Structures are given as C-alpha cells and as structure tokens.
C-alpha cells in the first residue's frame, strides 16, 4: 500500500507525547535545555548583538548632546617670526618689551625681524542658545529609550526563533523515532508474511505488499534523518554554534495547557507592552522636540568667553594678558525658518500616522495569533481522539488478519493509520506550542520561556 510522505511525516511527531517517556535511548550530544538555548542565542545572535550596539550608540549620542551645555576649553601655541612693522610693534607690546627706543621712526618703519611665542588658554561658555541644546538632549534621551525598545523587540524575536527551532528539532527527532518504529513494524510484517507464505497460509502478493510498505517506511526514515539534520543546523546557527554540533534536548512536546485570554484583552496588553508600538509613540515625542528645536531658531544666542594669553620673545620670558567678554546674536531674517518648523510639524503628523497604522496592524496580528492558537488547541484534542481510534482499529484488524478474516492490505492500511495518527498528535502539539509563542510575541510579552518548560 502506498503511503504519502506528507502523511507519514505527519506521523513523526506524536511519539513526543506518547513515546516521550519510552522513545528509547536519547540521542548523543550536549544536553541542552530551552532556557540554555535562549541564553546562548541572546549572547551570540547577530540581532541581539546589533541591539546592544544600538543602545551603546544611543548613550553616546545622549552624552554628546548633554556635553553641548559644558564650556569648551582649548589651548593653543603659535610661533611667528617676521619684520612686518605692525607685527613687530604689536608683538613688542604683547611681550612688554616696548621702550622709548622703539619710537625711532627708522626703527618703526624698518624694524629688525622678531620672534613671538604666543600661548593662549581660552574658554567659551554657552549661556543661552535658544533652547536648542535642551531640545537635542530631550531627543537623545528619547532616542536612548527607543534603542532599549528596539533591543526588547530583537530579544523577543530571538526567543521566538529559538523556540521555533528548538521544538522544530524536537519534532524532527520525534519524526525520526516514529519513522524508525514504523520501519521496525514493517520489517516484522515482512518476516511474518514470508513465514505465512512458506506455510501456505497466504499468497505471494501479501509478502509483496509488506515489502512495498517496508521500502516506503525506509525512504521516510531517510527523509526524516535529513529533516532532523536541517532542524539541528537551524538551532545551532541561532545559538551561534557550529551547525553540526550534536544536541541532546532535555524537553519534549508534552501535553500542556496554556492560559490565553480573549482577543480584546490581548489587544489592550499589546498596546501597552509591544516594544514597536511604544517605539512609534516615542517617535511622536521626538518629532515634538524637533518642532521645539526649529522654533528655537527665533530666539537669540548668548555666549560668554574668556582667554588667558602669554607672548614672549623666547620660551622663558614674556608677558601675560587676559580677555573676558560676552556676545549675543539675534537672527533678524532667515527665510528658511518657517519652512523648517512646518516640516517638523509634518514629521510629527507622519509619526502619528505611522503609530495609527501600526495600531491597526497590531490588532490584526493579535486576533490572527489568538485564533490560530485556538485552532491548534482544538487540533490537539482531535489528534488525541484520532490516535485512540486508530490504535483500537489496528487491534481489531490484526485480530481479524490473524484469524484469516481480512487481507494484509487492510492490516497495513491500519498500521499506517496509527503511524499517521501518532505523527498528527506530535504535529498538533508542536503547533500549539508555537501558537502560544506567537500569541506572546504579538502581545509583546515573550520575555522568557518558562511557560514552555515543565
């Protein structure tokens, strides 16, 4: 009897439920729990690394913005030599070396060359800049909050990826266990059919049918092994490990009940907790601060300055001087200011529109995740019931076959139905786990993986 690969691959996942405790020897490799896999991924996954760098960038930008309020202090050293009359006259005054002899007209008009060493320590103090710095500091602070929200989004996405890959590997291993179990059963069927043919109790076609099923199950074992290798590589890559690193997973797809509230409450929680939605609200706040920054261009700038200088003919002698002052600047006409303010206001409206768009998408995503989870939950019950029926049906058919009341084809069909039902149980359990993870991700509450552990 020909068995569809898809159906039999569906067979592969239920032994996680029933065969979890009796599936034979655990696969060789490093013991790995779900929380351990998540921790490794959060440490090594490129998205998590990028989010941490984003936080560091935001902190540096905030520090840079706050530093604009501090005075700027600089020191300069210049050395100049020349015989320009104005330069020589001024340098002599700076060096406190000007004397009566320097009033001689020929000397004034044709002075000898002079070297002047000038050292200046200066400071600029921004007293008032029209609130520009305050607006930039506020934007940087909000930008730091946005970076933290982006990090939360990245971490939740990484947790979901690890959950999907971890239980995907569990499902693949269960699939391989089921396929191997089905192969052993098919092998026993071939041996029994051969014995019955040799004893003259059945015809050669029964043996051929059993051999066909054995070949199909053998092919499915090969395919299941490839699926398992792929699932292992996906989990290892997410964790930042070598793609072929062997693993012995400590969790199985056991029956579990998850507490999921109604879609209305889930939407309310998503609007409160979703990092990307909160980020969109921060975008509106940043746009507000940009409006304030552009409007500050209408205000004057007030700065204070001071300098302490020393001029000397050489590095050991000379004269010191200081300067203290303040300046105000008021831009009377700048035709670009109204356009800049208007553009900042448009940016705010765009940010509000993006928040509303995200709110609509969020509602659809939450509702979709909720009903997908509910469907997966119901499929678990249906698959459990179907498995019970398939096992009982196989028992009846085997008894009838042993009594010579039915054909080997009927028995092989019943065995395949049991294998398929077992896989359906595992697949539905896997769907329930991922469905609940999707609900948590859609609400923005996938902050740990404890709910998926025993």
- Which pLDDT score is estimated for 19? 37
Taking residues 145-161, report their average pLDDT.
94
Q: What does R_g of the chain's alpha carbons equal in angstroms?
A: 39
CA angle, 16 then 22 then 25, to 5°: 95
The predicted model gives 436-449 an average pLDDT of 95
CA dihedral 98, 101, 107, 113 (to 10 degrees): -50
pLDDT category of residue 454 using cuts at 50, 70 and 90? confident
Helix (H, G, I), strand (E, B) or coil at 385: helix
* pLDDT of 1 strictly over 90: no
d(CA 74, CA 309): 12
DSSP 3-state of 73: strand
223: in domain = yes
More confident residue, 314 or 381: 381
| CATH code at position 37 | 1.20.1600.10
* Residue-level pLDDT at 111: 87
Mean pLDDT of 401-405: 80
Mean pLDDT (the chain) is 86
The whole-number pLDDT of residue 107 equals: 76
Contact 108, 89 (CB under 8 A): yes
Q: Pairing mode, if any, of strands 247-249 and 30-32?
A: parallel
Is the Cβ–Cβ distance between 158 and 41 less than 8 Å?
Answer: yes
Residue 30 confidence (pLDDT) = 57
Model pLDDT, residue 9: 34
Report H helices in 403-448.
408-443
Nearest alpha carbon to residue 35 among 273, 253, 251, 255? 251
- What is the model's pLDDT at position 338? 92
Q: What is the pLDDT of residue 22?
A: 34
Decide which of 405 and 447 is more confident: 447
Q: Is the pLDDT of residue 379 over 90?
A: yes
Predicted pLDDT at 195 = 82
Which range has the top average pLDDT, 171-185, 362-376, 377-391, 400-414? 362-376
Residue 115 lies in a domain: no
Whether 17 is covered by a domain: the verdict is yes
Neighbours of 376 (CB within 10 A): 20
* DSSP strands (E only) in 233-366: 247-249, 301-312, 319-329
In the chain, DSSP finds a helix count (H) and a strand count (E) of 11, 6
Decide if pLDDT at 18 tops 60: no
Distance CA 130, CA 296 (A): 5
Q: Is the pLDDT confidence value at 21 over 70? A: no
The structural domain count of the chain equals: 1
What b/e sequence results for 276-310 when a residue is b if at least 16 CB atoms lie within 10 Å of its CB, and e otherwise? bbbbbbbbbbbbbbbbbbbbbbeeebbbeebbebb
Q: What pLDDT, on a 0 to 100 scale, did the predictor assign at position 92?
A: 82
Q: CA 297, 301, 303: angle at the middle one, nearest 5? A: 155
Q: How far apart are CA 306 and CA 321, in angstroms?
A: 11
- Is the pLDDT at 447 greater than 50? The verdict is yes
Crossing angle, helix 204-239 and helix 34-44, to 10 degrees? 50
Q: Which range marks the domain in which residue 24 is found?
A: 5-70+141-299+337-452
Within-domain flag for 36: yes
Half-sphere exposure of 237 (CA within 13 A, CB side): 11
**104: helix, coil or strand?**
coil
In a domain, 420, yes or no: yes
Q: What is the pLDDT of residue 211?
A: 87
pLDDT at 438 over 90: yes
If you average pLDDT over residues 15-33, what whole number do you get? 47
Q: pLDDT digits over 91-131, tens only? A: 888 877 877 877 778 878 888 888 888 889 999 998 888 88
Q: What is the pLDDT of residue 262?
A: 94
Q: Over the range 95-116, which residues count as b (16 or more CB within 10 Å of their CB) and which as e?
A: bebeeeeeeeeeeeeebeebeb
User: Where residue 309 falls among pLDDT bands split at 50, 70, 90?
Assistant: confident
Give the tens place of pLDDT for each residue, 199-238.
777 778 888 888 888 898 899 899 999 999 999 999 999 9
pLDDT (tens digit, 9 = 90+) per residue, 327-364? 998 888 889 989 999 999 999 999 999 999 999 999 99
295 CB contacts (<8 Å, ≥6 apart)? 341
Instruction: Give the pLDDT confidence score for residue 2 in this predicted structure.
Output: 33
* pLDDT tens readout for residues 64-100: 888 888 899 999 989 999 988 888 888 888 877 877 8
* CA proximity to 419, closest of 74, 175, 139, 206: 175
For residue 13, pLDDT over 70 is answered with no
C-beta of residue 153 within 8 angstroms of C-beta of residue 326: no
pLDDT value for 24: 34
Rounded-to-integer distance, Cα 298 and Cα 329, Å:
11
- Whether 275 shows a pLDDT value over 90: the answer reads yes
In a domain, 114, yes or no: no
Q: Per-residue pLDDT averaged across 373-383, rounded?
A: 93
In a domain, 402, yes or no: yes
Assess if residue 288 is contained within a domain.
yes
What backbone torsions phi and psi does residue 284 show, to the nearest 5 degrees?
-65, -40
């Amino acid at each position: 009897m020909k068995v569809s690969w898809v159906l039999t691959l569906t067979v592969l996942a239920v032994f996680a439920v029933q065969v979890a405790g009796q599936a034979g020897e655990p696969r060789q490799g490093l013991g790995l729990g779900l929380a351990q896999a998540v921790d490794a991924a959060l440490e090594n996954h490129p998205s998590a690394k990028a989010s941490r760098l984003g936080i560091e960038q935001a902190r540096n930008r905030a520090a840079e913005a706050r530093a604009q309020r501090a005075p700027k202090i600089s020191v300069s050293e210049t050395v100049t030599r020349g015989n320009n009359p104005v330069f020589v006259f001024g340098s002599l005054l700076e060096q406190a070396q000007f004397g009566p002899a320097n009033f001689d007209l020929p000397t004034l008009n044709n002075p000898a060359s002079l070297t002047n060493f000038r050292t200046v320590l200066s400071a600029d103090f921004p007293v008032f800049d029209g609130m520009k710095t305050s607006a930039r500091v506020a934007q940087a602070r909000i930008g730091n909050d946005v970076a933290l929200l982006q990090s939360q989004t990245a971490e939740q996405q990484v947790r979901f990826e690890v959950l999907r890959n971890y239980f995907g590997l569990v499902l693949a291993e269960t699939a391989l266990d089921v396929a191997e179990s089905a192969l052993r059963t098919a092998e026993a069927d071939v041996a029994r059919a051969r014995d019955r043919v040799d004893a003259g109790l059945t015809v050669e076609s029964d043996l051929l049918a059993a051999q066909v099923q054995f070949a199909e199950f053998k092919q499915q074992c090969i395919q299941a092994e490839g699926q398992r290798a792929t699932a292992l590589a996906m989990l290892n890559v997410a964790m930042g490990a070598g793609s072929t690193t062997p693993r012995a997973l400590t969790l199985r797809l056991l029956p579990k009940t998850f507490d999921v509230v109604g879609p209305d409450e889930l939407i309310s929680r998503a609007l409160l907790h979703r990092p990307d939605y909160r980020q969109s609200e921060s975008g509106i706040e940043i746009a507000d601060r940009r409006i304030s920054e552009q409007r500050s261009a209408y205000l004057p700038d007030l700065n204070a300055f001071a300098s302490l200088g020393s001029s000397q003919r050489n590095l050991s002698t000379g004269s010191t001087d200081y300067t203290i002052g303040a300046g105000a600047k008021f831009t009377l006409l700048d035709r670009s200011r109204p356009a800049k303010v208007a553009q900042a206001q448009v940016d705010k409206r765009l940010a509000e529109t993006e928040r509303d768009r995200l709110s609509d998408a969020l509602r659809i995503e939450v509702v979709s995740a909720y009903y997908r989870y509910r469907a997966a939950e119901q499929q678990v019950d249906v698959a459990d019931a179907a498995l019970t029926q398939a096992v009982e049906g196989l028992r009846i058919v085997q008894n009838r076959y042993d009594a010579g009341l039915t054909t080997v084809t009927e028995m092989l069909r019943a065995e395949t139905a049991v294998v398929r039902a077992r896989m359906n149980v595992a697949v539905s359990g896997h769907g329930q786990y991922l469905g609940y993870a999707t609900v948590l991700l859609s609400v923005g509450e996938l902050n740990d993986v404890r709910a998926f552990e025993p």
